[in-house]
Amino acid sequence: MSFAAVLFDFDGTLVDGYPAITASVNHVRTGRGLPPLSVAEVTRFVGRGPEYLLTHTVPGGELAADIARYRVHHPSVINEGTRLLTGAVEVLQALSGMGKLIGLCSNKPRAFSRQLLAHLEIAEYFAVVLGPEDVARPKPAPDMLQTAIARLRLQPREVLYVGDMTVDIETARAAGVAVWVTPTGSDERAALIAACPDRLLDRLLDLVPLLREMT
């Protein structure tokens, strides 16, 4: 099977945005009179949407107000606190050269994703960019992948999803698409193996030769 499109998760897959996320979490915590958390303490709660993130990092808060405070603060730190992961640009360039459609399906709010894609100068590669506000249910529900597939006018069997978490594997399985993961995000390698992805990549760059072999 040769895939016509590759859809990506964002944080932990293409970028390391954990310092920026941690800065905004700590901004909310400061407003609640709580001490700051380390990047490592915040990272394990990233990837399942802002509600999950703030419920687990700002205990006892008012969730709606905390999310609003986070979203107001985040644009001020998102650029300087986010970097492309090794090989991300090379992978996007290679996929584009192979004629693959590329999309982003992330539980990060779409406005933040678009800001980063522009800042990191990779927006041109993406035919579709989706966030949780674009669908009824965030990942691990299949809605985001299904919406991307429909917009690209493809069938699930023509699409590969690439992520870094067990939630990405669950999402792909629910949507009926193949899923490959890299151990560069919030979940440990052992957890990824236990979740049975179609492939566990050692590094993102391994994606390219594997896809070329399938063409």
What is the residue-level pLDDT of the chain in tens, covering all 215 positions? 789 999 999 999 999 999 999 999 999 999 999 999 999 999 999 988 889 999 999 998 899 999 999 999 999 999 999 999 999 999 999 999 999 999 999 999 999 999 999 999 999 999 999 999 999 999 999 999 999 999 999 999 999 999 999 999 999 999 999 999 999 998 999 999 999 999 999 999 999 999 999 87
Catalytically annotated residue among 9, 143, 164, 187: 9
What was the pLDDT predicted at 148?
Answer: 98
Bridge partners of residue 199, in order along the sequence: 180
Number of domains in the chain: 2
Q: What's the CA angle centered on 179, arms 130 and 211, to 5 degrees? A: 100
Reported pTM: 0.93
- 175 is in which domain, residue-wise? 5-16+82-214
Report the CATH number that the domain containing residue 120 is assigned in CATH. 3.40.50.1000
Judge if 201 and 141 occupy the same domain.
Answer: yes
Quick one: DSSP state of residue 79? T
Helices (H), the chain: 18-31, 39-43, 50-57, 63-73, 88-97, 110-119, 143-152, 166-175, 189-194, 207-214
Which tokens in the block code for residue 211? 């896809």
Tell me, yes or no, whether 30 and 118 share the same domain.
no
Residues 149 and 70 in one domain: no
Instruction: Give the pLDDT confidence score for residue 2 in this predicted structure.
Output: 87
Is 31 in the same domain as 89?
no
Q: What is the pLDDT of residue 19?
A: 97
Q: CB within 8 A of 205, min separation 6: which ones?
A: 86, 87, 90, 91
Residues 185, 92 share a domain: yes
| Residue 102 shares a structural domain with residue 152 | yes
Phi, psi of 199 (to 5 degrees): -150, 145
Q: What is the pLDDT of residue 49?
A: 85
Same domain as 96, residue 40? no
Same domain for 106 and 40: no
Give burial (CB, 10 Å; 0-12/13-18/19+) of 120. Answer: middle
54, 117: one domain = no
Whether residues 40 and 102 share a domain: the answer is: no
Task: Establish whether 11 is a catalytic residue.
Answer: no
Q: CA angle, 51 as apex, 197 and 192 as ends, to 5°?
A: 15
The values of phi and psi at residue 187, to 5°, are -105, 145
Listed residues 76, 91, 119: the one ending a domain: 76
